[in-house]
């Protein structure tokens, strides 16, 4: 098993003292227990210090000498000293917030120096003159040990190794029902013994309860909150799909207003139905050339906040599936000024806190809630997500009631353990792994462009015109590739990559492929992808005409609350008449379901929304197109594609929405 390496950086401008400290501390590390491979390195200037923490991903903590700048200052020495040490600490924590910072105090000083340093997020201090190398090492090692703790995973492992007899659920009873079966023992062998032994239930009290955590789950969540810069963190085992719904039901009573990007994930739209919220849909920007739906323009958001000061919450997706990132802080500030809570769906951005290239995160930008699919971009099992909370008015009781309403009473414990591990990994080696991912991203982008046929779309190519001046940024780990010159349709290309080159991509539009790089991307995978694209390029096929996905019609009137419309029985009405012509009689009727073509996954209709001629034509065009598009929400009555619509009688009983 690979052993960790950890370096601790000592910053001291007095060379002799630095040398003495490094020697003393390394001797202590050698002579004492050292499970994390701690060693000490030193630099004498702030410049070198910042360079080291940027380049060396194995640095886990920093010890800053408070006399660092004394030699450079003249006149009011203590003031300069205080400010200099402070600004260095601030720079370090801004760059890598996961690092622990300690101050080495040279001598007894005015209280204000220590006070000022302590108002920053420093973890402690040592008096230099004590020369207590073993004591310093012990504390630094203990601090690292604390970060490396995985309370839930440790307890789960411990329980499995205790080998207790199971007289409880699950029925496979630690895999014993499968192990000796001539019929299904291969399932046991395939997944392996520990999958079954660790598949336990709430009957085991020492594993705590996800429904009411007070033990190891509570502890694991507390460490996660600190790591992700939140006041509170909750583990969710039903994905961000459920996390979004839990937050909606906590913040929004029926009829209360929610501002939302129409392009939000479908779980957000389902959350609107479940909570009974009154949604105010905001149209996202769109890049027509590549069918990429981007952020909601900043001005649209600011206007909506102004027009709906009675709104209770705003939800946005950051970053989008294609990697477009909002300039969140001013939007959040505007929402807060109107008393609107901000929820950021960070399903695709759970790693962002651990490398400055991706920050600020939603929490750092001031959001009240962030939901993250830890499983999408970090080392957690599928469906394992986190909810981070920063809301000063957080109603924990209500949150808990809603959380428990959605959570299975039999959560999968390996998922909880994987959240504990994913947090540990990203906290301890996230910076290093993300730096490598960024490096691979740059390499891959260059290699793809060098094929001369495939081209990576950069921010300027992806940005819709409406948001050109909104300070939008691109998460480079989402790589969107223009395939229009390769001579394959997108479906053919995906198949070719899969069948011939064993490559499965993330998603596509009619003329793009999107590749997702994560901390699990390796140089070998990058090489194989490059090789495949190069070979395909060399085939020299003539470019094909590609079917362009029509733009989704703009949002029409929302006549009734989505929840009210959804719970009507409704009636099925065909989109086409007997002559296979567009059924124009649907114009003006109200839909009871959410109709979402995938791709792009944006609802064309939501429950309660009025149907127009344009919407019907769009849906029919989609159904008739040669390109396969999943049409979620369309019902087939025999061969006829139908929509579930409100009946005239049902409409009479519903209250019309006033915007």
Ligand X SMILES: Cc1ncc(COP(=O)(O)O)c(C=O)c1O
Which residues form the interface with ligand X (CB under 6 A)? 239-241, 265, 267, 317, 321, 345, 347, 373, 385
Shortest distance (Å) from residue 93 CB to ligand X = 29
Shortest distance (Å) from residue 373 CB to ligand X = 3
Q: Which residue, 518 or 583, is less far from ligand X as judged by CB?
A: 518
Pick the closest to residue 41 from 10, 6, 15 (CA basis). Answer: 10
Q: Which residue, 240 or 521, is less far from ligand X as judged by CB?
A: 240
Kindly state the tokens that stand for 333: 């500030």
Q: Which residue, 140 or 296, is less far from ligand X as judged by CB?
A: 296
Neighbours of 510 (CB within 10 A): 19
Shortest distance (Å) from residue 333 CB to ligand X = 23
Kindly state the tokens that stand for 236: 């969710």
Question: Residue 30 — φ and ψ, nearest 5°?
Answer: -75, -35
Q: Which residue, 197 or 262, is less far from ligand X as judged by CB?
A: 262
Instruction: Give the Cα separation of 246 and 237 in Å (integer).
Output: 12
Shortest distance (Å) from residue 387 CB to ligand X = 11
Q: What is the dihedral of CA 517, 372, 59, 118, to 10 degrees?
A: 150
Q: Which residue, 11 or 380, is less far from ligand X as judged by CB?
A: 380
Q: Which residue, 85 or 370, is less far from ligand X as judged by CB?
A: 370
Q: Which residue, 150 or 317, is less far from ligand X as judged by CB?
A: 317
Q: Specify the residue for token string 């360079």.
A: 51
Q: Which residue, 67 or 376, is less far from ligand X as judged by CB?
A: 376
Shortest distance (Å) from residue 272 CB to ligand X = 14
Q: Which residue, 385 or 484, is less far from ligand X as judged by CB?
A: 385
Shortest distance (Å) from residue 368 CB to ligand X = 17
Shortest distance (Å) from residue 416 CB to ligand X = 15
**Please, which residues have CB within 8 angstroms of residue 385's CB and are 6 or more apart in sequence?**
235, 236, 237, 238, 239, 240, 242, 243, 347, 371, 372, 373, 374, 375
Shortest distance (Å) from residue 448 CB to ligand X = 24
Q: Which residue, 176 or 506, is less far from ligand X as judged by CB?
A: 506
> How many angstroms from the chain centroid is the CA of residue 127?
41
Shortest distance (Å) from residue 265 CB to ligand X = 3
Kindly state the tokens that stand for 52: 């080291």
Number of residue whose CB is nearest ligand X: 239
DSSP tag of 334: H
Kindly state the tokens that stand for 264: 């939000």
Contacts 24+ apart (CB under 8 A), 93-98: 93/120, 93/121, 94/356, 95/50, 95/53, 95/54, 95/356, 96/53, 96/356, 96/431, 97/121, 97/229, 97/353, 98/147, 98/227, 98/353, 98/354, 98/427, 98/428, 98/430, 98/431
Pick the closest to residue 346 from 334, 365, 160, 356 (CA basis). Answer: 365
Shortest distance (Å) from residue 319 CB to ligand X = 9
Q: What is the 3-state secondary structure (H, E, C) of 270-331?
A: HHHHHHCCEEEEECCCEECCCCEECCCCHHHHHHHHHHCCCCCEEEEECCCCCCEECCHHHH
Kindly state the tokens that stand for 2: 């690979």
Shortest distance (Å) from residue 449 CB to ligand X = 27
Q: Which residue, 343 or 605, is less far from ligand X as judged by CB?
A: 343
Q: State how far the alpha carbon of 479 is from the alpha carbons of 212, 404, 447, 474, in Å.
A: 40, 37, 12, 10
């Amino acid at each position: 098993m690979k052993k960790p390496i950890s370096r601790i950086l000592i910053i001291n401008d007095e060379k002799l003292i630095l040398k003495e400290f490094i020697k003393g501390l390394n001797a202590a590390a050698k002579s004492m227990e050292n499970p994390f491979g701690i060693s000490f390195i030193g630099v004498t200037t702030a410049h070198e210090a910042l360079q080291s923490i940027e380049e060396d991903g194995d640095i886990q903590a920093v010890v800053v000498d408070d006399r660092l700048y004394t030699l450079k200052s003249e006149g009011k020495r203590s003031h300069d000293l205080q400010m200099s040490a402070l600004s260095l600490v601030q720079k370090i924590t801004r760059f890598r917030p996961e690092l622990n910072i300690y101050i080495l105090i040279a001598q007894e000083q005015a209280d204000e120096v220590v006070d000022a340093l302590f108002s920053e997020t420093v973890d402690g201090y040592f008096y230099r003159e004590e020369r207590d190398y073993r004591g310093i090492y012990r504390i630094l090692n203990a601090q690292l040990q604390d970060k490396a703790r995985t309370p839930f995973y440790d307890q789960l492992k411990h329980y499995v190794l205790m080998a207790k007899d199971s007289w409880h659920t699950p029925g496979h009873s630690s895999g014993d029902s499968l192990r000796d079966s001539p019929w299904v023992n291969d399932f046991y062998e395939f997944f392996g013994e520990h999958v079954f032994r660790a598949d336990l239930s709430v009957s085991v009290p020492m594993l705590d309860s996800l429904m009411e955590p007070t033990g190891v789950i509570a502890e694991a969540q507390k460490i996660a909150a600190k790591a992700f810069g939140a006041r509170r963190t909750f583990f969710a085992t039903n994905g961000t799909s459920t996390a979004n719904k839990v937050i909606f039901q906590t913040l929004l009573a029926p009829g209360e207003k929610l501002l939302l990007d129409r392009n939000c994930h479908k779980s957000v739209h389902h959350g609107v139905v479940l909570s009974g919220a009154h949604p105010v849909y905001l149209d996202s920007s769109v890049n027509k050339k590549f069918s990429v739906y981007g952020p909601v323009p900043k001005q649209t958001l600011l206007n909506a906040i102004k027009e709906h000061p009675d709104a209770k919450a705003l939800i946005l997706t950051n970053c989008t599936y294609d990697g477009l990132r909002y300039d969140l802080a001013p939007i959040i500030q505007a929402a807060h000024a109107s008393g609107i809570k901000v929820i950021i769906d960070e399903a695709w951005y759970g790693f962002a806190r651990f490398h400055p290239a991706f920050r600020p995160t939603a929490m750092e930008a001031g959001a009240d809630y962030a939901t993250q699919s830890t499983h999408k971009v970090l080392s957690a099992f599928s469906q394992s997500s986190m909810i981070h909370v920063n809301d000063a008015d957080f109603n924990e009781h209500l949150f808990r009631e809603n959380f428990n309403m959605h959570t299975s009473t039999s959560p999968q414990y390996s998922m909880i353990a994987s959240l504990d591990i994913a947090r540990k990994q990203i906290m301890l080696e996230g910076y290093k792994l993300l730096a490598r991912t960024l490096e691979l991203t740059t390499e891959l982008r260059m290699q793809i462009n060098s094929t001369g046929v495939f081209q990576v779309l950069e921010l300027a190519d992806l940005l819709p015109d409406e948001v050109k001046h909104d300070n939008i940024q691109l998460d480079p780990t989402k790589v969107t590739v223009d395939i229009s010159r390769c001579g394959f349709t997108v479906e053919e290309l995906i198949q070719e990559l899969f069948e011939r080159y064993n490559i499965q991509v993330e998603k596509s539009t009619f003329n793009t492929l999107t590749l997702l790089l994560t901390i699990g991307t390796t140089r070998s995978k990058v090489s194989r992808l490059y090789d495949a694209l190069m070979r395909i390029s060399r085939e020299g096929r003539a470019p094909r005409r590609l079917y362009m996905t029509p733009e989704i019609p703009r949002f029409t009137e929302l006549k009734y609350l989505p929840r009210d419309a959804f719970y009507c029985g409704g009636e099925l009405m065909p989109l086409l008449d007997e002559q296979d012509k567009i059924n124009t009689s649907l114009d003006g009727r109200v839909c009871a379901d959410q109709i979402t073509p995938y791709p792009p996954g944006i609802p064309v209709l939501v429950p309660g929304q009025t149907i127009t001629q344009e919407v019907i034509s769009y849906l029919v065009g989609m159904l008739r197109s040669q390109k396969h598009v999943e049409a979620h929400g369309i019902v087939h009555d025999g061969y006829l594609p139908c929509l579930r619509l409100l009946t005239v009688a049902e409409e009479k009983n519903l209250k019309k929405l006033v915007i």
